[in-house]
Amino acid sequence: MMALVEPMIPSLRRYARSLLRDQSAADDLVQDCLERVISRWHQRRSDGHPRTWVFTILHNLAINRLKQSARRGVHLAVENVDEAAFATPPAQEERLHHGAILDALSLLPEDQRSVLLLVSVEDLSYAETASVLDIPIGTVMSRLSRARHRLARLMDDGPGQSATVGTALRSVK
C-alpha cells in the first residue's frame, strides 16, 4: 500500500493547494485524505486504479471543506497575520504572470477548474478524471474545453473583463 500511495503525495498536495488556495489547509486536507486511505484501504475496488481512488477521496474531502467554509465565512485575526501579508507584492514579471494565472483560475467555476487541474496539472486521463469527479467522459471533455477557452479569454482580457467571459452563444450548423 505505501509503495503505491507515497509517490502520490506531491500530486495530492499540489491538487489540494490549488483547490483550497491555502498551504496549511491543503496540508491538513492531504493528511486527512491519507488517514482515510490507510483506514479504508481494504474497501477500495481491486479492479480500479488506486490513484483515481485516492484523488476521489481528496476531491470529496476538499468539496466538503469548501462548503463548510462557505457556510462559516472567512475568519482572519489581524494579530495572527504575518506582516509580510501586508507588504507590496514583488514586481517580477514571472511572479505577476503566475499570480494572473491563479487569479484567472479562481474565476473559473469549480467544476471547470477541477477538470482543468486534474487533466492539465495532475496529468490524469479523461477516464480517470471522470472517475474522480463521478461524471461522464464527455462531460470531462466539454468542461475542459470550456475551461481552457475561458482561461485564455481571462488571460487576454485582463481582470476587468471577467463578467463577459463565456456569455456569447454560437450557432452550430
Question: What is the per-residue pLDDT across 20-66, written as a single tens digit (0 to 9) for each?
Answer: 888 888 999 999 999 998 888 877 777 777 888 899 999 999 998 88
Number of folded domains that form the chain: 2
109 and 68 belong to one structural domain: no
The residue ranges of the chain whose pLDDT is under 70 are 1, 73-76, 85-91, 158-173
23 and 55 belong to one structural domain: yes
The values of phi and psi at residue 24, to 5°, are: -70, -40
Going by C-beta distance under 8 Å and a sequence separation of 6 or more, which residues neighbour residue 129?
115, 118, 119, 140
- On whether the CB atoms of residues 122 and 11 are closer than 8 A, the answer is yes
Q: Which helix (H) or strand (E) holds 31?
A: helix 23-39
Q: Determine the 3-state secondary structure of 4 from DSSP.
A: helix
pLDDT of residue 9: 87
CB burial readout 31-53, b (16+ within 10 A) else e = ebbbebbeeeeeebeeeebbbbb
- On whether the CB atoms of residues 132 and 116 are closer than 8 A, the answer is no
Place of cell 481512488: 53
The CATH number covering residue 2 comes to 1.10.1740.10
Spatial separation of the C-alpha atoms in residues 7 and 123, rounded to whole Å: 14
**Domain boundary at 72, 104, 130, which?**
72
The pTM (predicted TM-score) of the whole model is 0.51
The counts of H helices and E strands in the chain are 8, 0
pLDDT of residue 89: 57
60 and 107 belong to one structural domain: no
53 and 112 belong to one structural domain: no
Q: How is residue 14 written as a grid cell?
A: 499540489
Task: Give the range of the structural domain holding residue 63, as residue numbers without chain letter.
Answer: 1-72
Q: Is residue 38 part of a domain?
A: yes
Q: Is residue 6 part of a domain?
A: yes
